[in-house]
Structures are given as C-alpha cells and as structure tokens.
A and B are shown apart, each in its own frame.
Chain A
Amino acid sequence: MSLLMVSNIIVMVFISVGVLFLAAGTIGFLRFPDFYSRMHATGKCDTLGIFLSCTGIALYTLQDGLSLANIQVSLKIMFIAVFWSLGGPTATHALLKSAFKAGILPWTKDGKSVIEWPPK
C-alpha cells in the first residue's frame, strides 16, 4: 500500500462525509414543518459539510507536489472553509432574527403559540 493510495483514501473519506452532511441538511430542509426548524437543519449541516469537503479538496491539491502554487491554492481553499464557518452561522442568525421581528411564530404540534408576539 503506497503513500499515494493512503492519501487518496483519506481524501475520499473527507469528501464523502462532507457530502453526507450536506445530504442530511437537504433532507431536513425539505422535510421539517417550520421555517425555524428548516434553518436549524441547514445552518449547521452546511457549515460542517463545506468544512470537511474543502479540507479533502485542499489535501488532494497538495498531492501533486509541494510547490508554491499548490500551497497557495490549498491555502485559498482552506480560506473558503474558514470564511464559510464564520459567515454561514452569521448569515443564518441575521436572517432568523429579522424573520422573528417580522412576526413568524414557531411551529407547535397543537397549533397554539408558545409566546405572546408581538408584545403589547
């Protein structure tokens, strides 16, 4: 078993687990009953899925040899991953806060609202 094969298997595991998380987020996004629970599914699963997939792709870029151009491209891909793990939750939080201010109430099973909104 050569070193290249081990590296290929590591890359495949990273990208496959990332795509698994993205698929779970998509299923939750389609199946959940409420806007808030849909955001709960996508906001976390997309962040972790993109982080794992970008890590796998950056590792695969370094396989061609440790030249300066390859390291630069790999650092850029890791910058995308870090940027999205900071920016994705921020965007989710901002959208959720403005939706709550606009007056969408959380879903409950019996249809009764949990809180009084808007406050009098």
Chain B
Amino acid sequence: MDKFFLTISLILSFLALICLYRAIFGPTVVDRVIGVGVVGTKTLIILLLIGFLYKRMDMFVDISLVYAILNFISVLIFSKYFVRKGVL
C-alpha cells in the first residue's frame, strides 16, 4: 500500500508542476491566481499521503487542514484586492 501512495504522490507532484506553467506564463493576473490555487489543492492531498508514508497522520492532517483554510482565504483576498479595473 505504501508503493501505491508513493505513486499517487508522484503523479500529483507532476500535475502540480505542469499547473505551474499557467501560474508563471498566464496571460492575466486572474490566471496566475487560479494557478496558485490549483497547485494548493493538489498539495493538500500530497500532504495527507506523506502523512501515511511517515506514519505520522495525526500531525500531517493538521498541516493539511491549515493549508486548506489558508488557500481558501488567500484566493478570496486576491479576488477582493488585486483584481480591480485597470489592473488587468
């Protein structure tokens, strides 16, 4: 089962890496914001799987929870303050 979790983590890391293309070269600011958000959601699952690999699930689940809340709040704050008329 460890091998399965390691494979899934590697697939998710690769997906996060190719999402970073849109976060760097995105045509508008909004593309960059949503690119960072997508990388964050994949990192959330990777953190839970790393918790199984290190056998410390009770610690890593808290880190993942904080990561989810921070990701949500950061997208809201970006949408409120960075995306205005004339910025794009």
User: How far is it, in angstroms, between the C-alpha of A111 and the C-alpha of B85 when the chains are bound?
Assistant: 22
Q: Are A80 and B30 in contact (CB under 8 A)?
A: no
CB distance from B28 to the nearest CB of A (A): 6
CB distance from B72 to the nearest CB of A (A): 4
Q: How many residues of A contact B (CB 8 A)?
A: 46
Kindly state the interface size class of chain B when it binds its partner: 35 or more
User: How far is it, in angstroms, between the C-alpha of A99 and the C-alpha of B76 when the chains are bound?
Assistant: 12
> Which residues on B sit within 8 Å (CB–CB) of A77?
48, 61, 64
Q: Are B57 and A95 in contact (CB under 8 A)?
A: no
List residues of B whose CB falls within 8 A of some A CB: 1, 4, 8, 11-12, 15, 18-19, 21-22, 28, 30-31, 33-35, 37-38, 41-42, 44-45, 48-49, 52, 57-58, 61-62, 64-65, 68-69, 72, 75-76, 78-80, 83-85, 87-88
List residues of A whose CB falls within 8 A of some B CB: 8, 12, 15-16, 18-19, 22-23, 25-26, 29-30, 35, 38-39, 42, 46, 49-50, 53-54, 57, 60-61, 69, 72-73, 76-77, 79-80, 83-84, 87-88, 90-91, 94-95, 97-99, 101-104
